[in-house]
Structure 1
């Protein structure tokens, strides 16, 4: 190959690299509820029982106190629930449920923050500087989050995390520590009814109530957070979250006070969530980061 040919070859490679980088950087993040494949592309470990899961956690030294102290959370994704959590001793059941759900909650929140960050970037640019892809992306977010005003600051009020402690407390309360029929059969931990636009569901005995069902725990968690971030009944939650964020005090214990409309139990529901958060130290995990160097996918067969 001549010197001139080598130069053209090098330039072509550089051009390809730049082109690839541009395409990658132009890719705008999807809301977690829109991800069809949220899990890492690794082999799935198949388990059959809750004791097997506890054994896996022990083998990998996955302990809650260690996570709280190090703020490093292994990316151990449990796709669905075993049907025998109640067979475990109480301490194993409670810590096991928290451990199996924690990475999923963090992953959903991380995806929400990725979307929020990109919206903030666009909010600081003139709309005339937005690309056609960015304009279409924002338009879809307005529709998805039911923001009719076209106000990007209003959109940011909707696109934000639900603190880990609050998600865990609601999952615990609504699913009975992962032992309810709807949690085991439908990956539905948070008491969501079937939304107006339809979808998968399970019914209560007699078929009077349709409860939303999901393919995995990530989708169920993402849908629950999206519900809180879009339904008008939670406007108080959005405003309180905005204030708490400004005060650097966005915790589950503080935010659950805006959930009196979530349950017919009203303030008693809020009191119970706060008791769960306090007793089980569920706000200890607010600042953890997923360590993607430690990845695991677990799926239960029933």
Structure 2
């Protein structure tokens, strides 16, 4: 097998050798390489280039002049003003489907994806030399994306083995989503520096205002919300919310982060009151769960302080520290401060900070800029 990705044909041969009969299309649905992402990226560039010849002049407000600089260059006074007002720009009455429309669209994938067994996945990891020990040393992660958690993960009795296996599955998913946000953030900075924007760029900005719930198109709010989530913190939350992949919500609904929904499709908690209307969001693919989780942290008013602390770290030229930022997740669960304490214990006890600098190995020249 190739070093940097799974070959669909090779996987099919491998599974056939092991006694499995799986169609090529199902394998393709289950194991997603970044070559798909690369094609999407290139298609986006082509679409943008078509409209680039028709520039649209957009008047620069004083706010945009300030934001055209790096956030680190904004004065402390302006930083405090932006952070204080960021959530005054959000209409708390926004419909859930409005914010998650692109996530739900992404999740509209074939529901007949094959669920590979834990043993098969483990053999595939070994065959491609994909292991956490190497990642901790060289910080490079192979772009292996599984769509469904294996049911046998609940039967892995060795705790360390189960934890490592779970991390191997979700780490590429988290990094891929951070790459998406990083790419958008780089583009936002580029757009802000221009005195003229194309129609395509204006349309792109409008789509991002919608995704991040910025109803009055305030650029300062968009800039604060469009940012990454530390990898170690995301892994810790997924571990806590799913019991390292063993929970009913994770197994039945690909729900890695236990997000609630009042309007979408979901799974009703077994211990919920009869008159309770909330459910745990369910997804067809794991990647959609990661997308929804990051969108939740980047838009919901409960995490205003988290976003403020993250922006402050950026402003001071510091790394996104999960031990600092996790302090602002006390509203994520009813247990509050105790929830934060557990997250930090998971991060420390499992040395998850080792993965904060990990990079997803690209399969195209265009994605090299993200590493």
Aligned to 2:215, which of 130, 142, 148? 148
Moved more, 264-273 or 135-144: 135-144
Q: Secondary structure at the match of 2:142?
A: strand
Q: Tell whether the 8 Å contact from 1:158 to 1:229 is kept in structure 2 after alignment.
A: yes
CA distance in 2 between partners of 1:99 and 1:278 (Å) = 18
TM-score (norm 2): 0.66
Matches within 5 A, 1:1-302: 23=46, 26=49, 34=102, 36=105, 46=114, 48-88=116-156, 89-126=158-195, 129-195=196-262, 198-205=263-270, 208=276, 209-246=278-315, 247-293=317-363
1:68 shift after superposition: 1.7
TM-score (norm 1): 0.80
Structure 2: gaps spanning 5 or more residues = 1-42, 52-98, 365-371
Q: Tell whether the 8 Å contact from 2:261 to 2:279 is kept in structure 1 after alignment.
A: yes
Q: Deviations over 1:81-129 (max 9, x none)?
A: 0112121121210000001000000001100111111111111122xx1
Q: Which structure's relative contact order is higher, taking Cα pairs within 8 Å and 6+ residues apart?
A: 1
Structure 1: gaps spanning 5 or more residues = 1-19, 39-43, 295-302
Aligned residues: 264
1:182 shift after superposition: 0.8
Q: Tell whether the 8 Å contact from 1:33 to 1:223 is kept in structure 2 after alignment.
A: no
CA distance in 2 between partners of 1:27 and 1:242 (Å) = 34
CA distance in 1 between partners of 2:168 and 2:291 (Å) = 18
1:72 shift after superposition: 1.1
1:200 shift after superposition: 2.2
CA distance in 2 between partners of 1:124 and 1:21 (Å) = 20
CA distance in 1 between partners of 2:155 and 2:142 (Å) = 26
1:214 shift after superposition: 0.8
2:79 maps to none
**Cα RMSD over matched residues?**
2.6
